[in-house]
A = this chain, B = another copy of it.
Amino acid sequence: MIVVMQEDATDSQIKHVSHLIRELGLREHIIKGTERTVIAALGDDRAKNKENIEHAPGVEKVMPVLAKYKMASREVKKERTVIPLGGTLGAVVGGKKNCIIAGPCSVESRDQLLQCAQEVKEAGATALRGGAFKPRTSPYDFQGLGEAGLKILAEAREKTGLAIVTEVMAVDQVSLVNQYADVLQVGARNMQNYNLLMAVGDQKKPVLLKRGLSATLEEFLLAAEYIISRGNSNVILCERGIRTFETYCRNTLPLAIVPEIHRISHLPIIIDPSQGTGHAHLVPDMCKAAIAAGADGLIIETHDDPEHALTDGAQSITPKTLQEIMPTMKRIAVAVDREI
């Protein structure tokens, strides 16, 4: 960290800050500039309470040098992490192949899911999404089928070979969901539900971690770090849009996160253009843009009858639409040296 002293900081204030730095097990290095004295603290301060120093008299600000995450960073692992998802279609995230995960927001019924699974497979998806436990903003909304939904998902895998991605909302659901699913999804609202992060870190299946609506990249990667630090390094990052002042979309989809994550982390990153925009008519072009930006995959909400979907109808495209945009997405993948 760098401690910037106020213009008129006294020697005894500088000495006091040096003392605080040593208390943290670090070593101070004082630089008297023409305009300010700054004090560099040498050593690994990732886990230190360095913000407190802001409180010391004469301190103007404290600027961190090191990001707080470590195991999620490229510094500890240069090669990109490749994560097999399960199923029998060779679904993998993080390699040369882009992974397409598609399916309904919620499992609504056996018929609905099996049909949708078949259709997204035909469109080119290798993994199936579908919620059995649904986090809903309102207590009056449909909350999912629970274990019955998980069983339908497992049946869909059997019938189609698609890997199953489904959300887990609470610590006590982890072992249940783990029995049926191939990939455990942690939703945006739970990105900083640390007990849940530790619980999915304690099991072996890959975790699809959605970015919180207003999480910084550091917070996002620290959430991944919670999972990795428990022993599970198969974390798939997922951008699903952030909350901004914009109103034509439910969320703003910031695709520049793709090259940035590739620069600072070894984890794969996929895009959710459905949550990421909130409106079906914006989804196809954002699928294309995400692939062009270098995303490792997509997770797309599809529904055969969006007008009657129990959840998220407004942002679901039909499997037919998915089928129609797939050839374009394939050409774009090839253009950026990937494949679908």
Which chain B residues lie closer than 8 Å to A288 at the CB level?
292-294, 335-336
User: Which residue of A23, A35, A310 has the most chain B CB atoms within 10 A of its CB atom?
Assistant: A35
8 A-B contacts (beta carbon < 8 Å) = A51-B312, A52-B308, A55-B316, A170-B193, A244-B252, A253-B254, A288-B335, A292-B292
- Kindly provide the distance from the CB of A157 to the nearest chain B CB, expressed in whole angstroms: 26
A240 within 8 A of B: no
The chain B residue with its CB closest to the CB of A242 is B244
Type the 1/0 row for A228-262, where 1 means its CB is closer than 8 Å to any CB of B: 01000000000000111111110011111111100
A289-B289, A336-B328 known; A225+B66 contact, CB < 8 A: no
- Determine whether the beta carbon of A137 is less than 8 Å from that of B68: yes
Which chain B residues lie closer than 8 Å to A140 at the CB level?
46-47, 68
**Complex Cα gap A247–B63 (Å):** 13
**Complex Cα gap A263–B276 (Å):** 18
> Which of B259, B279, B309, B334 touches A282 (beta carbons < 8 Å)?
B259
A15 within 8 A of B: no
Which chain B residues lie closer than 8 Å to A34 at the CB level?
42-44
> Which of B65, B314, B331 touches A334 (beta carbons < 8 Å)?
B331
A contact residues vs B (CB 8 Å cutoff): 2, 4, 7, 20, 23, 29, 31, 33-36, 38, 40, 42-44, 46-47, 49, 51-56, 63, 65-66, 68-69, 75, 135-142, 169-172, 189-190, 192-196, 213-214, 216-219, 222, 225-226, 229, 242-249, 252-260, 263, 276-277, 279-282, 284-286, 288-294, 306-314, 316, 328, 331-332, 334-336
- Kindly provide the distance from the CB of A321 to the nearest chain B CB, expressed in whole angstroms: 11
The chain B residue with its CB closest to the CB of A188 is B192
- Determine whether the beta carbon of A214 is less than 8 Å from that of B310: no
